[in-house]
Structure 1
Amino acid sequence: MTSDTRIAPIALPDTRARRVIESLLDGSGVALNGTSPWDIQVHHPDFFSRVLHQGTLGLGESYMEGWWECERIDEMTHRLLRHGLGEHAHTPSERLMYKLQAGFFNLQSKARAYIVGEAHYDLGNDLFERMLDPTMCYSCGYWKDAETLHEAQVAKLDLAARKLGIEPGMKVLDIGCGWGSFAEHAARHYGAHVTGITISREQAELARKRCEGLPVEIILEDYRDLEGRFDRIVSIGMFEHVGHRNYRTYFDTVDRLLADDGLFVLHTIGSNNSEISADPWIHKYIFPNGILPSIKHIAQATEGRLLMEDWQNFGADYDRTLMAWQDNFDAHWHEIADNYNEKTRRMFRYYLGACAGAFRARDIQLWQVVFSKGRPGRYDSPR
């Protein structure tokens, strides 16, 4: 337990803001200064007005600043979302501002493509190496037959490779290759020749080291600039950064690069509805300009371009993945604490816990979708 969790909660001020927050929490199972590990322990008297006026941005920022504590943020978030508070998470001004931005500007244009890499993925390989497993997968593991995080991540990589039907010598493109997890797996275990692209310099540097000696090329490039022809294409945990204005361009690119008898696997977090929105705290601190697609978004953008062969949802597995990352993060933080500040530690703990709770509440999903260009014959997807 960290030192700030031992600070006694304050006596709650009798204010209108506090009463409004209490009324919103009523029936959720989450209490203020309660005894359950998912209860909110308030350390600052202005917590209530800040959350009331700033929504999830104020909630996340006030946690980063030590205004409140919660032992199990994952369970707190799960209970609040199941209670229906997700609908109240964004203030009207937040919703309006994001819609204006997304309506008038392409927040994921080529000129802005590298923002998320610089803000998040370039934060420090030392941090991610301690949080993730040895595969360096920064996406949902597949826990069907797995007992450990490493087993789940290897299973996820192999599931995608089997869905693609990779054979030795095939040219495979990995759009958003991260630290080279899939590229290494496909080259080492399937004999593929892999081209991986990323918009993060830190990721590219480490991916090249990890894939040294294998038929793998790692390129720092935006997907819209790609040329060539590939037997298979995969994109794992990258589509969330594409943006609704660019979905058609993205799938046009895949269609242009994919061989006529090829297969494409899209692995992405998905939204339950098609509203163009983003959590303001996640948008500001974790994944700038990110947006989650819906089933409708993907279907409309691929219609007339690609044929959907299979659609699998294992979003519940992301809960377990995020909790495993949080366990790793907590266990190894002392090794890198001198490289970061306490605000960064609290930012990651809030991010991992809140996202785990969202998947546990089935508020967001994780999809693997297989596409072809209409190749003949039946496609049977591995599970």
Structure 2
Amino acid sequence: MQKDSRLGLSEEFDTARTAPPKAIVDLLAMADVRINGDRPWDIQVIDDRLYSEVLTRGTLGFGEAYMDRLWECHDLSGLMARVMSERLDEKPLGRAKLFFALYYLRARIMNLQTSSRAFQVGEQHYDIGNDLYAAMLDPHWCYSCGYWREAEDLDAAQVAKLDLICRKLQLEPGMKVLEVGCGWGSLAGYMAEHYSVEIRGITISKEQARMARQRCEGLPVEIDLVDYRDVQGQYDRVVSVGMFEHVGRKNYADYFSKLAGCVKPDGLFLLHTIGTDNERCGVDPWIDRYIFPNGELPTLKHMIGTCEQQFHVEDLHSFGTDYDKTLMAWWNNFQGAWPQLSERYDERFYRMWRYYLMSCAGFFRAKRGQLWQLVLSPLGSQRVYRSVR
């Protein structure tokens, strides 16, 4: 009988006693993970149904089994970092091989990020509850990687990120800025308040739009509920933070072409996005089903290869390991607020959210995920750009 006081859970659990399949044991051994071992990152199997879930549906079954409390782990982010480092998520067993093949074939053949699908992620993820995000995020409500170069806490890291973006964009009073994917208004409000610019922010989330308008009231900020494909006008600066992950490679050419038309000839475009070295289409099936439907992480090859048809790449800044710290800070905030949040969200949601944050932290800790900021200028620009850090 074991009890994990670090999970914020009151229940104790009995580990299963049936011998696990050798194929699963051998796979986990590649990452130095044991079933029912005594190390923090070892998996504690509570229900033997876990094995069939993994053998038939791979990482989707593994994540759902955690949500259903078929297994537990004291150090979930540590476990996921080990799994990601050895790319065990890319090594499905049994019938899961066919499941994964069909899943990624679908993502490769279909355009899952069409305009008709654009609002799905807003409805499923960003609209689930502003109370959740208020509790988890910093006071600015930044839902993207902080910049921890000199920061010691989440608030300082997010302010540093906001100001870094403004300085990279070389903002001047009176400029007109388009923000593609404005979230809850964190960057728009900061730019307007500290750099005296006018902002039009667009989002595909009704709750984000409502809260952003409320939080930016009294500032020269306009918030619209609109897909990037339908935006009009020209701007001195364009910025997009944490939105490109929803575009999809089949739409990269249209995305960059559209935003190139929105940037004035002497303007700048800053793109802040998660990236990966994985060439396959789509994201992990569990993330796709429960967190970010229709998402796809870019590779540098696909992203830069397409954007260079419309833009000069003035600067490329990578600081993906900062996302590990950001995610762990979000988890600490979420866990601390759980007594209040539990009045609205159930235990399965708690486990889903923990699995989401911890698996993503492991993803960045293993350097499978990266965070890139690109500064772009329109083709033909004669601007001499100096990098900012």
TM-score bracket for this pair, using the shorter chain length: over 0.9
Cα distance per residue 1:353-382 (max 9 Å; x no partner): 000001000011110001001422421111
**1:308-319 equivalence runs, <5 A:** 308-319=313-324
What is the distance in 1 between the residues matched to 2:235 and 2:98? 45
Structure-1 residue corresponding to 2:205: 200
Cα distance 1:268–1:234, how it changes in 2: closer, same or farther (>3 A)? same
Equivalent residue in structure 1 for 2:180, among 175, 184, 199 = 175
Q: TM-score, normalised by structure 2?
A: 0.95
The answer to whether residue 259 in structure 2 is matched with residue 265 in structure 1 is no
Name the SS for the 1:23 alignment partner: helix
**1:42-53 equivalence runs, <5 A:** 42-53=45-56
Structure-1 residue corresponding to 2:381: 375
* Alpha-carbon contact 1:198-1:219 (below 8 Å) kept: yes
Structure-1 residue corresponding to 2:97: 92
Cα distance, 1:60 vs structure 2 = 0.3
Structure-1 residue corresponding to 2:352: 347
Cα distance, 1:4 vs structure 2 = 6.1
What is the distance in 2 between the residues matched to 1:254 and 1:246? 12
* Alpha-carbon contact 1:98-1:278 (below 8 Å) kept: no
- The one-letter amino acid paired with 1:319 is D
* Alpha-carbon contact 2:104-2:280 (below 8 Å) kept: no
Task: State the aligned residue count.
Answer: 380
Cα distance 1:224–1:101, how it changes in 2: closer, same or farther (>3 A)? same
Structure-2 residue corresponding to 1:7: 13
Structure-2 residue corresponding to 1:246: 251
What is the distance in 2 between the residues matched to 1:278 and 1:84? 14
What is the distance in 1 between the residues matched to 2:345 and 2:283? 27
Structure-1 residue corresponding to 2:148: 143
Name the SS for the 1:219 alignment partner: strand
* Alpha-carbon contact 1:198-1:220 (below 8 Å) kept: yes
Deviates more, 1:220-229 or 1:82-91: 82-91
The answer to whether residue 217 in structure 2 is matched with residue 212 in structure 1 is yes
- Percent of aligned pairs sharing the same letter: 51
Name the SS for the 2:342 alignment partner: helix
The answer to whether residue 237 in structure 2 is matched with residue 232 in structure 1 is yes
What is the distance in 1 between the residues matched to 2:287 and 2:11? 23
* Alpha-carbon contact 2:92-2:100 (below 8 Å) kept: no
Cα distance per residue 1:299-332 (max 9 Å; x no partner): 2211221110010110000000000000001000
* Alpha-carbon contact 1:230-1:262 (below 8 Å) kept: yes
* Alpha-carbon contact 1:95-1:277 (below 8 Å) kept: no
Name the SS for the 1:6 alignment partner: coil
Equivalent residue in structure 1 for 2:261, among 256, 260, 266 = 256
The answer to whether residue 38 in structure 2 is matched with residue 35 in structure 1 is yes
Cα distance per residue 1:197-249 (max 9 Å; x no partner): 00000000010111000000000000000000100000000000001111011
Superposition RMSD in Å? 1.4
Structure 1's unaligned 5+ residue stretches are none
* Alpha-carbon contact 2:204-2:227 (below 8 Å) kept: yes
What is the distance in 1 between the residues matched to 2:86 and 2:122? 34
Name the SS for the 2:317 alignment partner: strand
What is the distance in 2 between the residues matched to 1:89 and 1:126? 37
- The one-letter amino acid paired with 1:364 is G
Structure-2 residue corresponding to 1:156: 161
Equivalent residue in structure 1 for 2:310, among 280, 300, 305 = 305
Equivalent residue in structure 2 for 1:69, among 56, 69, 72 = 72
The answer to whether residue 366 in structure 2 is matched with residue 361 in structure 1 is yes
Cα distance 1:376–1:240, how it changes in 2: closer, same or farther (>3 A)? same
Cα distance 1:182–1:233, how it changes in 2: closer, same or farther (>3 A)? same
* Alpha-carbon contact 1:234-1:264 (below 8 Å) kept: yes
* Alpha-carbon contact 1:309-1:379 (below 8 Å) kept: yes
Structure-1 residue corresponding to 2:119: 114
Cα distance 1:94–1:158, how it changes in 2: closer, same or farther (>3 A)? farther
* Alpha-carbon contact 1:51-1:58 (below 8 Å) kept: yes
What is the distance in 2 between the residues matched to 1:277 and 1:205? 30
Name the SS for the 1:338 alignment partner: coil
Cα distance per residue 1:18-63 (max 9 Å; x no partner): 2111111114222111111111111101111211221100010000
Name the SS for the 2:61 alignment partner: helix
Cα distance, 1:89 vs structure 2 = 5.0
What is the distance in 1 between the residues matched to 2:78 and 2:128? 27
